[in-house]
Chain A
Amino acid sequence: MTTEAVLKDVYESEELLTGTDAVAQAVRLADVDVFSAYPIRPYTGVMDRLAKFIADGKFDAEYIIADGEHSQFEIAKHASSVGARAFAGSSGTGWLYATEALAATATDRLPVLALVGNRALDDPGAFGVEHNDAMLVRDLGWLIVWASTAQEALDTTLIGYRVAEDPKVRMPCAVAMDGGYLTHSQHMVKIPTKEAVKRFLPPYDLGKRRLHPDNPISIAPQVNEDWGMEIRRQNWEAAKRAVGVIRKAYDEFESIFHAGYPNPFFEEFMTSDADTIIVGMGTVSAAAKTAVRQMRKKGDKVGYIKLRWFRPFPSEELRKALSRASHLGVIDRDFAHGGPDDAGVLFTDISSALYRAKSRPPVIDFIAGLAGREVSIEDVIAMFRKVEKAEEADVVNWVRVREKSNRGSQGNSSGGKSD
């Protein structure tokens, strides 16, 4: 069978969808049983779309509107414990309000899938993208993956369930995506058939851990110093096993959908012979890859790595890919005030992983795009120029922060909300 014929078989249509629409499609296709909801931009788009699916008779699920995010994620956790495939989602401080439930979902090892529409924390009402919200669960036993296109959002939601529910893993999974730039932007997305999804994603089965009158168990009794350490050790083992499960899930996704994810953990763009590499996550990759294309035309040996899986952090794979380069840069759409070198979270993780590498190229950090500020192609080109001379550069570089007021720079029709 030709590839085209295969694709005809596994995709039902191609539609113009926002990032949140794409996730809603995946939730429908994964035949989620329980969806708990509480509105907050930019996640809310999923709520709207799923409500419409149910109203139109295209989707059958329990749609529970909670009184706040804390209850919302408690509902998802409990639904998951009785064997229902559960979906929830939030953004920014809404996600943080659920933190107690989020922590317990991870320790209880319940494979809830959550969309985190990345949103700033929380200068009054700030809604632009920042990655700190999703990163707040980075140490708790959540799988965290970033999608950076609408198609990837749909695919990653399906893959996320497959990985999270695998008996070797059973960890909750956060699918993160940039608020605004992905959640509210409409792109053409291929929508798989339900049959093809069924082949990829087996039914959710919690086995003997399923809470049911026929299976009398109690989940999560009081834990003290006599048990806590062993439980953490178990959970660490699951997090380590997740690496292999992720690899296998992408292999099978590839064999059914031919979606083009040769490396599950990160996408390497023109890195094979690159001297200078920048690493980033999320939609900044569009500007970064375009910058690489433009610079390559002029003979610059530059490359970009788009990190998808942030937890488990692909230390070994990244070490291999990055230690080949002579200079490295990291784009952090997050901040970590007062942390090591006052750098961002991603930079700190990557630096830490590189410390064990035999060859350690100099690496510098760019704090960029906070609260939804733009990161342009020109910005990334300027970053590459700085990385090429990383030895002389500051460790941490804030990009496009207003160092001067725009007073006096206003001509006639100077443009929109420019800075």
Chain B
Amino acid sequence: MTTVEAPLKNVDVDEEPIKRFEVNYRGIFQKTLAYRITKDLVYIAHSDGKTAFSNGRYSDDPQRNGVPCANFAFFSDGLSEEELEAIASAKMDIDRADIVAVLDDTMVKGLEPWGHYGIRPINEKVVPGGTLLVISRRPPEDLVQFLEKKPFTYNLAILPGEASFAGLWYYRDDNTDVRVLGAVARISPEIISLDKAIAYVRKTYKNDEKVKALEDAYNSTKLSVVSANDGIVWPHRKPVLPAWNEFDEGIVVKAAPREFKMGPRGLGRNLDYKRGTSKTQRPVVRFDICTKCTLCWYECPDECFDPTPDGLYDVNYEYCTGCGRCAEVCPVNECIVMVDELNFKNDDSPWESFKKDPQSYTKMIEEKKGKGRMMPSHVTGKGESMSEVSKPVPFKVERGN
């Protein structure tokens, strides 16, 4: 992977004079934001004499909290709107895109928007020479370790920033909308030019701060090239859709296995829809200080906790949606803490890792936890707030034996 000044050109041997843009976002939380982005892109392209339109992925609606969703926008220099629609938008989902934008970097670990489709790579639709655009504070290496290997090179663009919640029901503006426009102008002047984007933002918002934010994003977007075979062999299975005469009549599907045994993954769970890609943070458990009070297991709305023979509760991260309820109800200070999902490479059982080597497990998770903590309102009594821990709670030796 190498850092570059200008993006690699789209080398797709594609005779269609069409550009496709996809934005992946967290359902509900970023809905309004994502719509503003695709809408503004279309308006700017129109102001430049292009044909353009946008749509949302219909199957995402009605959206569920955090579940990955997508919006699309299509651009053409010569086609009529009708032709553009016929070519680009005959399907509910698209199968390739020149730019795949990601509004929350934890989505680079994969997407499971719908049942039966498994967890799909975020770069699945990027065309050769196309661009994956991620809003993130991370270096490119951190993101590429989660991406599926491609047989071709493409660009990775990073727009420095955090996952924005500006689009939650009402619109609390943090300029992420125009910042994404700036990044797109940098990546693909064929979609929108910087000049037209500035003119549009100035006219629409009548606010110099927004223009400045756009220009800043244009300049600060970091580009690098992902080589063929950078990334990982995709670990998740891809869906198999049967022929019309290969499944039972009457829309009958197999129930999730109804089973329970003590220990990790001991509970029967739905194999066709796991929902784990909905989370931006995961609960990390200090098994050494757990009092076995059962509250996490009892309160988890997704039944992600598995009782273990020693009375502890393992977490099945494949099914955890990161809602934070367990961390909220856990009565023991520092026992369950929500931590950035990108700090973790896999969904392996934390309890097994703890049993194997209690001390190094505890050391490992304390490193990943870092110092910052979100304090829930029922603890502070004055709403949510951030605090810092000076040093980790000491390892409790007796539990480790």
Contacts and interface: CB of A to CB of B under 8 A. Distances in A.
Interface of A: 16, 18, 41-42, 123-124, 127-128, 149, 179-181, 184-188, 283, 286-287, 289-291, 293, 372, 374-377, 401-407, 410, 412-419
A184 B82 CA distance: 16
Contacts of B7: none
Given A286-B86, A290-B87, A185 B244 contact: no
Given A186-B38, A403-B244, 18 more contacts: A18-B55, A123-B251, A128-B58, A181-B58, A286-B82, A286-B83, A290-B87, A293-B83, A374-B91, A376-B90, A376-B91, A402-B241, A402-B242, A405-B241, A405-B243, A413-B123, A415-B124, A416-B94
Interface in B23-59: 38-39, 42-43, 46, 53-56, 58-59
**Considering residues B87, B92, B241, which has the most beta carbons from chain A within 10 angstroms of its beta carbon?**
B92
B81 interface: yes
Nearest to A401: B244
B244 A402 contact: yes
Contacts of B89: 181, 185
A415 B125 contact: yes
Contact of A186 (B42, B87, B241): B42
A377 B81 CA distance: 15
Contacts of B121: 413
Interface stretch (B148-156, B174-182, B186-194, B363-371): B148-156
Nearest to A380: B86
Contacts of A374: 90-92
B328 interface: no
Contacts of A179: 58
24 contacts: A16-B53, A16-B54, A42-B61, A127-B59, A186-B39, A186-B42, A186-B54, A188-B81, A283-B85, A286-B90, A289-B86, A374-B90, A377-B90, A402-B241, A402-B243, A404-B243, A405-B243, A412-B148, A413-B151, A415-B125, A416-B91, A416-B93, A417-B59, A417-B117
Nearest to A186: B54
Contacts of A124: 251
B151 A412 contact: yes
**Considering residues A372, A412, A416, which has the most beta carbons from chain B within 10 angstroms of its beta carbon?**
A416
A403 B246 CA distance: 9
Contacts of B347: none
Contact of A413 (B81, B82, B148): B148
Contacts of A402: 241-244
A406 B124 contact: no
B46 A413 contact: no
B212 interface: no
Contacts of A181: 58, 89
**Considering residues A184, A291, A375, which has the most beta carbons from chain B within 10 angstroms of its beta carbon?**
A184
A186 B123 CA distance: 25
A289 B55 CA distance: 21
A29 B90 CA distance: 31
Contact of A419 (B43, B54, B151, B241): B241
A416 B121 CA distance: 10
B147 to A, nearest CB: 11
B250 to A, nearest CB: 10
B75 to A, nearest CB: 13
Contacts of A18: 55
Nearest to A407: B240
Contacts of B124: 413, 415-416
Contacts of A415: 95-96, 124-125
A417 B92 contact: yes
A185 B83 contact: no
Given A124-B251, A179-B58, A405-B243, A418 B95 contact: yes
B137 interface: no
B240 A406 contact: yes
Given A290-B87, A416-B94, A410 B238 contact: yes
Contacts of A289: 82, 86
Contacts of A287: 86, 90
A417 B90 CA distance: 13
A18 B117 CA distance: 28
B125 to A, nearest CB: 6
Nearest to B59: A127
B90 A184 contact: no
Interface in B91-124: 91-96, 114, 117, 120-121, 123-124
Contacts of A42: 58, 61
Given A405-B241, A413-B124, A16 B251 contact: no
Interface string B231-252: 0000000111111101000010
